[in-house]
Amino acid sequence: MLELRNVCKKFDNKIVLDNMNLEIRNGEIVSMLGPSGSGKSTLLNIILGLIPMDSGQLLFEGQDISRVSMKDRGFNIVFQDYALFPNLNAYGNIAYGLKNQTRGFSKAELEELIDFLELRPHLSKRIDQLSGGQKQRVALARTLATKPKILLLDEPLSALDGVIKETIKTRIKAIAARYNLTTIIVTHDPEEALTMSNRVLIIDQGHISQYGTPAQVIHTPANPFVEQFILKQLEIKRDNIYHLFQKCHA
Ligand SMILES: Nc1ncnc2c1ncn2[C@@H]1O[C@H](COP(=O)(O)OP(=O)(O)OP(=O)(O)O)[C@@H](O)[C@H]1O
Ligand SMILES: [Mg+2]
């Protein structure tokens, strides 16, 4: 279990995370959902160990990891822009994290992961020869191969469209189940959050607005913010889809 206790963070005297308390169970998929600037990426980077918090505690399996380095925490992230190495081909990227690592995938596990993500036909391609969805899978494979204790995904679907989005969504869920991997996904899209995760954390200006299952969020929104942000956005989307549908069939 990952626990955040009274986590606070300021940037330039502006409170970005205000006394956050949170528990994430092993094997759970949690989405962090909130408007732009609400503190989602900051929270993800604090969990990863990339940026320090000002005060509070982070516990993993009951151990205080607040001062443990990013490397020793053993979590790993897929950044929004994937951050692939352009000088290495797809395979070079996937295997990169295994250099000088003791806990990463074995050769056999890596081969299995490559097949699981259907990357075998693309292994020798340069990064600029890959489609968006293929890049996403290479980035996922590179991160998964390091056997992260927690998988962090910052807006994993935002650069993808339609069908590919659905495929990657299904794959992320399958990966979490297959490797019993605690997965934290940052998104600003309620539909993504509600369809991908066991629990949704709704953040508003550095505060937790609600933390619950998708059903709880939909049926019992904790406050007007949740209602407005989540449900109105979904309605807008539904309206858009409806209008689009009408247009197509006019
Ligand atoms: N390194 C930094 N220095 C100063 N301010 C920062 C820094 N990083 C983030 N902030 C500020 O902290 C707040 C939260 O930023 P954060 O990136 O966590 O938001 P977010 O919820 O991920 O937004 P988005 O959906 O746009 O990615 C914003 O007001 C942002 O301007
Ligand atoms: Mg962000």
CATH code of the domain containing 10: 3.40.50.300
Number of domains comprising the chain: 2
168 Cβ partners below 8 Å, 6+ apart?
A: 133, 136, 137, 156, 157, 160
Q: What is the mean pLDDT of residues 116-120?
A: 92
Which pTM value belongs to this model?
A: 0.89
| pLDDT reading at 151 higher than 70 | yes
Q: pLDDT value at position 244?
A: 57
Of 99, 127, 147, the residue at which a domain comes to its end is 147
Report pLDDT digits (tens) over 166-183: 888 888 898 899 889 999
pLDDT at residue 153 is higher than 70: yes
Residues 240-247: what's their mean pLDDT?
60
Q: How far is CA 42 from CA 19, 52, 115, in A?
A: 13, 10, 33
Nearest atom of ligand 1 to the alpha carbon of 39: 18
Give the pLDDT score at 106: 87
**CB distance 37 to ligand 1 below 6 Å:** yes
Q: So what's the pLDDT on residue 246?
A: 64
**One domain, residues 203 and 161:** yes
Asked whether residue 246 is assigned to any structural domain, the reply reads no
State whether 137 and 152 are in the same domain. no
Same domain, 191 and 125: no
Average pLDDT, the chain: 90
In ligand 1, the atom with minimum distance to the C-alpha of 41 is: 22
The verdict on the CB of residue 38 being under 6 Å from ligand 1 is yes
Burial (CB count <10 Å: 0-12, 13-18, 19+), residue 242: exposed
Q: What is the pLDDT of residue 245?
A: 58
Domain annotation covers residue 83: no
End of a domain among 147, 163, 185?
A: 147
State whether 183 and 70 are in the same domain: yes
Q: Is the CB of 188 under 6 A from ligand 1?
A: yes
- pLDDT category, 250, cuts 50, 70, 90? low
- Which residue would you say has higher pLDDT here, 90 or 107? 90
* Residue 197 placed within a domain: yes
Q: For 37-72, write each residue's pLDDT tens digit.
A: 999 999 999 999 999 999 999 999 999 999 999 999
Transcribe 60-99 into DSSP letters.
ETTEE-TTS-HHHHT-EEE-TT----TTS-HHHHHHHTTT
Note whether 181 and 65 are same-domain residues. Answer: yes
Give the domain range for residue 98.
Answer: 88-147
How confident is residue 134, by pLDDT bands cut at 50, 70 and 90?
very high
User: Which residue has tokens 């020793």?
Assistant: 72
In this structure, the answer to whether residues 122 and 154 fall within a common structural domain is no
Q: Check if 36 has its Cβ closer than 6 Å to any atom of ligand 1.
A: yes
pLDDT at 234: 72
Residues 180 and 217 in one domain: yes
* 101 vs 29, higher pLDDT: 29
- 12 touches ligand 1 (CB under 6 Å): yes
Q: How many CB atoms lie within 10 A of CB 94?
A: 28
SS3 for 129-185 is: HCCHHHHHHHHHHHHHCCCCCEEEEECCCCCCCHHHHHHHHHHHHHHHHHCCCEEEE
The answer to whether position 81 is within a domain reads no
Answer yes or no: is 82 within a domain: no
Name the pLDDT band for 86 (thresholds 50, 70, 90). Answer: very high
169 plus 188 within the same structural domain: yes
Residues 18 and 101 in one domain: no
Domain presence at residue 236: no
Boundary-marking domain end, from 147, 176, 192: 147
Pocket test for ligand 1, best of 7, 10, 16, 205 (most atoms within 8 A of CB): 16
Residue 249 lies in a domain: no
**Judgement on whether residues 45 and 161 belong to the same structural domain of the protein:** yes
Percent of the chain with pLDDT over 90: 62
Atom 5 of ligand 1, nearest CA residue: 11
Residues 61 and 161 in one domain: yes
Strand, helix or coil for residue 119: coil
Q: How far is the CA of 40 from the centre of ligand 2 (A)?
A: 6
Of 201, 179, 215, the residue nearest 2 (C-alpha): 201
Whether 240 is in a domain gets the answer: no
The structure tokens listed for 64 are 């205080």
pLDDT of amino acid 12: 95
Q: What is the distance between the alpha carbons of residues 105 and 127, in angstroms, rounded to a whole number?
A: 22
| 26 and 142 within one domain | no
Model pLDDT for residues 182-236, shown as the tens digit of each residue: 999 999 888 889 889 999 999 999 999 999 999 999 889 999 999 888 777 777 6
pLDDT at position 10 over 90 = yes
